[in-house]
């Protein structure tokens, strides 16, 4: 995924430094919103049953062997068409023979007009995010902006309201950056479903000059109209002959913008960061990388999700800290309902993460990986390390109690403070590293960050 080629625009794009803002903010919010949020149904599985061991760089949707039970609710249109699927049975029971087009009409004419971007942007800011990536077009081909380049197979297959532009304005007004996801390699309005296995997946990817012109026109429209800070492509398994020219235009328009590595996954193509999905918490040591996943087992809203399948607040904090310590960003996804409401359980997790970051952000934002990412206390509690401003941050992934013994030995004149406070903590060297006395007044948290200068 990604790569470097010598010479010309390709070489320059492949070797350009990663824009500093992206490595500083650490946290992004992914938003999957399409007409599938109306039925909002997919089987719920434990992630360990879906992820093939040893293949963290392959998107989860390509590791899933049984497409009848795919847990991604945003792909309802395909799963409902797979013979014998739970989704197909659910659709027949609740919607009879209504085609997916009926959901699109409801989404376009009744749901989008009542949507308000303000609560989304406010929540994302409270979560501590630095950027927001919206699905401007998912696999169903519906556009969330009024494009001049309309779908050749489906009339009215786009939003008259400019969802993309309105959300971009709302998040930028709150100090965040805006990015655009676009499903270039998959568009079911051009045929190809049902997809029942990975071979069918490749066969379903549209080919030909008409589709190439169609998607290139959309990318260029997104770039010129919205100037997104991130271009986030998906399903880049078929060559995009115009990708390098698109990148050149994009970088000229948005000099500090970034492109992900899914524009062409079949050959090396310049990319600013590596895109990992769900299972990965560690990425390549020599590349900037980003892990994306839902708070639960789906990107799109799934009415069957519950506390059992959603990450807990503590698990989300630990996941985020682990990713940052290994040099990555987390793009955590929300799946709004059909009416555009972000479910309460998802809101709670994001607000919990934001509360933790409000106190401990100095150990996360604008940090870099330390000499090693992992450690352990003398009591077996996991530690993750980051570094910034002549300090090392030891983030204990637990509630350590009044005393914690970390596995590093500070210099004899070092000072240690607890994130969010200025008082120096008492500490002493030990054979394990250093024993640190925590303040009795320290509030219970999912993780504690010790700042060692």
| pLDDT at res. 12 | 32
| pLDDT at res. 71 | 92
Residues 6+ apart with CB under 8 A from 91: 39, 41, 76, 80, 98
Q: Which of 347, 363, 379 is where one domain is finished?
A: 363
The pTM for the full model equals: 0.93
In Å, how far are 215, 259, 278, 291, 398 from 168, measured between CA atoms?
21, 17, 26, 22, 37
Q: Are residues 326 and 417 in the same domain?
A: no
| pLDDT at res. 442 | 75
Give the Cα separation of 331 and 29 in Å (integer). Answer: 5
- Find out whether the peptide bond into 194 is cis, omega within 30 degrees of 0: yes
pLDDT for residue 4 is more than 60: no
| pLDDT at res. 239 | 62
Strands (E), 295-339: 328-334
Q: Find the CATH number of the domain harbouring 441.
A: 2.60.40.1180
Q: Which domain holds residue 413?
A: 368-452
Residue 250 lies in a domain: yes
Give the Cα separation of 387 and 55 in Å (integer). Answer: 29
- pLDDT bin (cut points 50, 70, 90) of residue 419 is very high
Q: What is the pLDDT of residues 234-253, one digit of tens each?
A: 998 776 778 889 999 999 99
| pLDDT at res. 55 | 37
Q: What is the mean pLDDT of residues 6-15?
A: 35
> For the chain, what is the domain count?
2
Q: What is the mean pLDDT of residues 301-324?
A: 96
pLDDT for residue 401 is more than 70: yes
Q: Which of 363, 378, 397 is where one domain is finished?
A: 363
Hey, what's the torsion of the CAs at 297, 298, 304, 309, to 10 degrees? 20
| pLDDT at res. 390 | 87
Q: Are residues 376 and 346 in the same domain?
A: no
In Å, how far are 172, 224, 264, 369 from 375, measured between CA atoms?
37, 46, 37, 13
Among 68-72, 204-208, 312-316, name the most confident range.
312-316
- pLDDT bin (cut points 50, 70, 90) of residue 10 is very low
Q: What is the pLDDT of residues 276-293, one digit of tens each?
A: 998 778 889 889 999 999
pLDDT for residue 227 is more than 80: yes
pLDDT for residue 434 is more than 70: yes
Q: Are residues 430 and 294 in the same domain?
A: no
| pLDDT at res. 52 | 35
Q: Are residues 272 and 169 in the same domain?
A: yes
Q: Are residues 441 and 390 in the same domain?
A: yes
Residue 2 lies in a domain: no
Q: Are residues 84 and 114 in the same domain?
A: yes
Q: Which of 305, 332, 363 is where one domain is finished?
A: 363
Q: Find the CATH number of the domain harbouring 337.
A: 3.20.20.80
Share of the chain above pLDDT 70, in %: 91
Q: Are residues 355 and 373 in the same domain?
A: no
| pLDDT at res. 63 | 42
**Six-digit token string for 234:** 């998906």
| pLDDT at res. 265 | 66
Q: Are residues 305 and 373 in the same domain?
A: no
| pLDDT at res. 301 | 98
Q: Are residues 212 and 292 in the same domain?
A: yes
In Å, how far are 43, 49, 112, 302, 423 from 40, measured between CA atoms?
10, 21, 16, 5, 49
Q: Are residues 189 and 47 in the same domain?
A: yes
Q: Are residues 328 and 248 in the same domain?
A: yes
| pLDDT at res. 281 | 80
Give the Cα separation of 425 and 417 in Å (integer). Answer: 6
**Does an H or E element contain 356, and which?**
helix 344-360
Q: What is the mean pLDDT of residues 70-75?
A: 94
- pLDDT bin (cut points 50, 70, 90) of residue 332 is very high
pLDDT for residue 233 is more than 70: yes
Residue 1 lies in a domain: no
Q: What is the pLDDT of residues 147-179, one digit of tens each?
A: 999 999 999 999 999 999 999 999 999 999 999
Phi then psi for 142, rounded to 5 degrees?
-75, 135
């Amino acid at each position: 995924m990604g790569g470097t080629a010598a010479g010309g625009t390709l070489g320059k794009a492949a070797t350009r430094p990663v824009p500093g803002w992206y490595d500083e903010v650490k946290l992004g919010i992914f938003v999957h919103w399409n007409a599938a949020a109306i039925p909002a149904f997919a089987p719920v599985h434990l992630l360990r049953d879906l992820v093939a061991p040893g293949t963290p760089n392959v998107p989860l949707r390509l590791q899933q062997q049984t497409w009848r039970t795919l847990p991604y609710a945003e792909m309802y249109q395909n799963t409902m068409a797979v013979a014998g699927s739970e989704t197909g049975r659910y659709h027949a029971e609740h919607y009879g023979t209504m085609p997916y087009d009926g959901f699109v009409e409801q989404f376009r004419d009744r749901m989008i007009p009542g949507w308000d971007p303000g609560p989304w942007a406010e929540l994302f800011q409270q979560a501590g995010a630095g950027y927001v990536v919206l699905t401007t077009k998912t696999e169903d081909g519906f556009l969330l902006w009024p494009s001049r380049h309309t779908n050749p197979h489906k009339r009215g297959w786009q939003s008259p309201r400019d969802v993309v532009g309105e959300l971009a304005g709302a998040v930028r007004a709150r100090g965040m950056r805006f990015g655009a996801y676009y499903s270039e390699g998959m568009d079911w309005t051009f045929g190809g479903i049902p997809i029942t296995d990975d071979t069918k997946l490749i066969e379903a990817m549209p080919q030909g000059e008409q589709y190439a012109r169609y998607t290139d026109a959309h990318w260029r429209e997104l770039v010129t109209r919205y100037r997104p800070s991130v271009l986030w492509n998906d399903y880049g398994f078929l060559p995009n002959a115009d990708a390098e020219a698109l990148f050149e235009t994009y970088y000229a328009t948005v000099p500090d913008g970034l492109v992900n590595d899914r524009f062409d996954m079949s050959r090396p193509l310049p990319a600013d960061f590596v895109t990992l999905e769900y299972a990965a918490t560690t990425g390549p040591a020599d590349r900037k990388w980003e892990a994306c996943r839902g708070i639960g087992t789906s990107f799109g809203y799934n009415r069957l999700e519950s506390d059992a399948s959603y990450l807990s607040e503590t698990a989300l904090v630990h996941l985020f800290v682990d990713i940052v310590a290994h040099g990555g960003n987390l793009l955590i996804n929300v799946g709004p309902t059909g009416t555009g409401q972000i479910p309460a359980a998802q809101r709670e997790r994001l607000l919990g993460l934001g509360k933790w970051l409000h106190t401990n952000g100095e150990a996360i934002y604008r940090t870099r990986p330390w000499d090693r990412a992992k450690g352990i206390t003398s009591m077996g509690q996991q530690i993750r390390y980051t570094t910034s401003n002549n300090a090392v941050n030891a983030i204990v992934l637990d509630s350590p109690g009044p005393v914690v013994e970390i596995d590093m030995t500070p210099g004899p004149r070092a000072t240690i403070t607890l994130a969010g406070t200025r008082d120096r903590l008492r500490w002493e060297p030990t054979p394990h590293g250093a024993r640190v006395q925590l303040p009795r007044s320290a509030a219970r948290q999912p993780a504690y960050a010790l700042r060692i200068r």
